[in-house]
Amino acid sequence: MPMNGDFPEVRYADADGVSIAYSVRGNGPIDLVRVPGILGSILASTVDPVVDAHYEHLAGFTRLIQVDRRGLGMSDPLVAGGAPPLEQQVEDILAVMDTVGSRQVALYADVVAGAVALSFAAMHPERVSALVLNSAYARRSRAPDFPFGPPVGDDARSDARVRLRWGDLEHPALLERAAPSRARDPHFRQVLARVQQVSASRAAAAASFAVDVEHDVRAVLGLVQAPTLVLYPGDRDIEGDDLDLLGNAQFLVDHIPNARLARFPGSDIYFGVHTPELGALIEEFLTGTRPTPVSDRVLATVLFTDIVGSTEQLTELGDQAWRTRLDQHDAMVRTQLERFRGREINTTGDGFLATFDGPARAVQCAHAITDGARLLQIGLRAGVHVGECEVRGDDLAGIAVHIGARVCALARAGEVLATTTVRDLVAGSGITFTEHGRHALKGVSGEWTILIANP
């Protein structure tokens, strides 16, 4: 199947006269059906590179079968609106399985789609080899005998918010719940908005959400025979978040006969930086073997930049003006990275992490970026360090990255700070340094001499 940005190869299964869109990638020995929710359309999986990489990982050891729910994505719309009942959604998945010649599958579902997967496993145990549930629940709202989830009635307000903000480029629906770690990144806001736009119309999304949150499948949990992996993001601690993912996950484990609980790092459901760990848990559960991460250790120069006082500037300027300024900032930084042959690793919304082959170019680039930020009336600091880094695909990890971030945090607006390693390696370049002082870097042993790299 084509990678991120390319249109996937979509086919259709007939479900009693209704066309259900599906796509297949990979040719592994395990058939894995991605049970669709309102955010899980086939086309949406190509919009966010994080999600696309997750599916590419799954397709490396399975035959991954993606399905668009009836009424959403590229499947036929619902004539009467609303959302298909659970039984109909189960029948539609069966139609796709029969079309692709799959006798037995593992089911992978998250959040509201969990009710569909649980119903399928209870109704057709012979067709299910395993069940993977991520951030799922048996019932959405709180009840006298179910202390998890929001109070009854709160879902009506959530329904209204979904209808109002679905596909909104500035503040899309479910932003803080789906991927809180990326919520402040304006680029991700646009990504999530496009995911929603290609998944469902506003009316269809709101109608599906209103029906989905009414499902209560507690009665079927004891009938699930397949081995079940219940996953949840272990660092989820969001003010005002009433989902109680751990409580719901534990409830599933306590009531499904052959279930076990596992957590993955972070607070994002599957849009976040820890999605590879989520995929590794799924691979280990389905194959019995945990993947060995591809790792390579190299000497690299890391550059961190960070906007100083971004919250205060947001308050002063307002959302629209600050977003415009951030977009100008991002474009300026990327221009300078290209100019000095730096490689962007990631962005947090307020700053960048980049690597360079040599420290002199990193320092020069840092000054060009701080100068450019000053012209945009943005206070920006930077930190440079050279050390051994662990390269994992397109990502970078290791103590050198950690040190670079801590050095950047010590800088004031307009300052470029560096370690003595940088100074020693740029001798003869014409770059001069002034002592900033000795500092204890959080999480790093000993004291470090930090230097101001002069322009």
> Residue 3: which pLDDT band, with cuts at 50, 70 and 90?
very low
Are residues 339 and 227 located together in one domain of the fold?
no
Q: Is residue 200 part of a domain?
A: no
Are residues 279 and 326 located together in one domain of the fold?
no
Q: Beta partners for 124?
A: none
Of the listed ranges 197-211, 314-328, 434-448, the least confidently predicted one is 314-328
Q: Is residue 383 part of a domain?
A: yes
Degrees, nearest 5: CA angle 409-410-414:
90
pLDDT at 293: 59
The pLDDT > 70 percentage for the chain reads: 93
> Residue 5: which pLDDT band, with cuts at 50, 70 and 90?
very low
Residues in Cβ contact with 303 at an 8 Å cutoff, skipping those fewer than 6 apart: 342, 352, 353, 354, 355, 356, 362, 365, 366, 382, 383, 384, 404
> Residue 451: which pLDDT band, with cuts at 50, 70 and 90?
very high
Instruction: Say yes or no to pLDDT of 24 above 50.
Output: yes
Q: Is residue 179 part of a domain?
A: no
Looking at the structure of the chain, the number of domains it has is 2
Are residues 234 and 302 located together in one domain of the fold?
no
Q: Which of 262, 287, 312 is the last residue of a domain?
A: 287
Instruction: Say yes or no to pLDDT of 81 above 70.
Output: no
Q: Which of 244, 260, 287 is the last residue of a domain?
A: 287
Most confident of 218-232, 297-311, 321-335: 218-232
pLDDT at 68: 96
Q: What is the dihedral of CA 49, 53, 55, 61, to 10 degrees?
A: 170
Are residues 322 and 254 located together in one domain of the fold?
no
90 closest CA partner among 35, 152, 40, 131: 35
pLDDT at 300: 85
Q: Is residue 178 part of a domain?
A: no
Q: Is residue 263 part of a domain?
A: yes
pLDDT at 312: 77
Are residues 231 and 127 located together in one domain of the fold?
yes
Per the model's pLDDT, the better-predicted residue between 425 and 451 turns out to be: 451
Q: Which of 287, 317, 343 is the last residue of a domain?
A: 287
Q: Is residue 19 part of a domain?
A: yes
Of the listed ranges 28-42, 51-65, 172-186, the least confidently predicted one is 172-186
SS3 labels along the chain: CCCCCCCCCCEEEEECCEEEEEEEECCCCEEEEECCCCCCCCHHHHCCHHHHHHHHHHHCCEEEEEECCCCCCCCCCCCCCCCCCHHHHHHHHHHHHHHHCCCCEEEEEECCHHHHHHHHHHHCHHHEEEEEEECCCCECCCECCECCCCCCCHHHHHHHHHHHHCCCCCCCCCHHHHCHHHCCCHHHHHHHHHHHHHHCCHHHHHHHHHHHCCCECHHHHHHCCCCEEEEEECCCCCCCCCCCHHHHHHHHHHHCCCEEEEEECCCCCCCCCCHHHHHHHHHHHHHCCCCCCCCEEEEEEEEEEEECCHHHHHHHHCHHHHHHHHHHHHHHHHHHHHHCCCEEEEECCCEEEEEECCHHHHHHHHHHHHHHHHHCCCCEEEEEEEEEEEEECCEEECHHHHHHHHHHHHCCCCCEEEEHHHHHHCCCCCCCEEEEEEEECCCCCCEEEEEEECC
- pLDDT average, residue stretch 238-256: 81
Instruction: Say yes or no to pLDDT of 321 above 90.
Output: no
Per the model's pLDDT, the better-predicted residue between 172 and 107 turns out to be: 107
Q: What is the CATH number of the domain that holds 123?
A: 3.40.50.1820
Are residues 306 and 425 located together in one domain of the fold?
yes
Are residues 280 and 317 located together in one domain of the fold?
no
Are residues 146 and 272 located together in one domain of the fold?
yes
Per-residue pLDDT tens digits for 223-241? 999 999 999 998 765 544 5
Per-residue pLDDT tens digits for 370-397? 999 999 889 999 999 998 888 776 788 8
Are residues 363 and 262 located together in one domain of the fold?
no
Q: What is the CATH number of the domain that holds 418?
A: 3.30.70.1230
Q: Is residue 166 part of a domain?
A: no
Of the listed ranges 100-109, 305-314, 412-421, the least confidently predicted one is 305-314
- pLDDT average, residue stretch 31-46: 90
Instruction: Say yes or no to pLDDT of 90 above 70.
Output: yes
Instruction: Say yes or no to pLDDT of 162 above 80.
Output: no
Q: Is residue 182 part of a domain?
A: no
How far out from the chain centre does Cα 11 lie? 27
- Can you give the residue range of the structural domain that contains 73? 11-150+215-287
Are residues 259 and 317 located together in one domain of the fold?
no
Per the model's pLDDT, the better-predicted residue between 416 and 141 turns out to be: 416
Are residues 128 and 277 located together in one domain of the fold?
yes
Instruction: Say yes or no to pLDDT of 99 above 60.
Output: yes
Instruction: Say yes or no to pLDDT of 154 above 70.
Output: no
Are residues 29 and 56 located together in one domain of the fold?
yes
Per-residue pLDDT tens digits for 403-415? 999 999 999 999 9
Of the listed ranges 68-77, 160-169, 325-334, the least confidently predicted one is 160-169
> Residue 360: which pLDDT band, with cuts at 50, 70 and 90?
very high
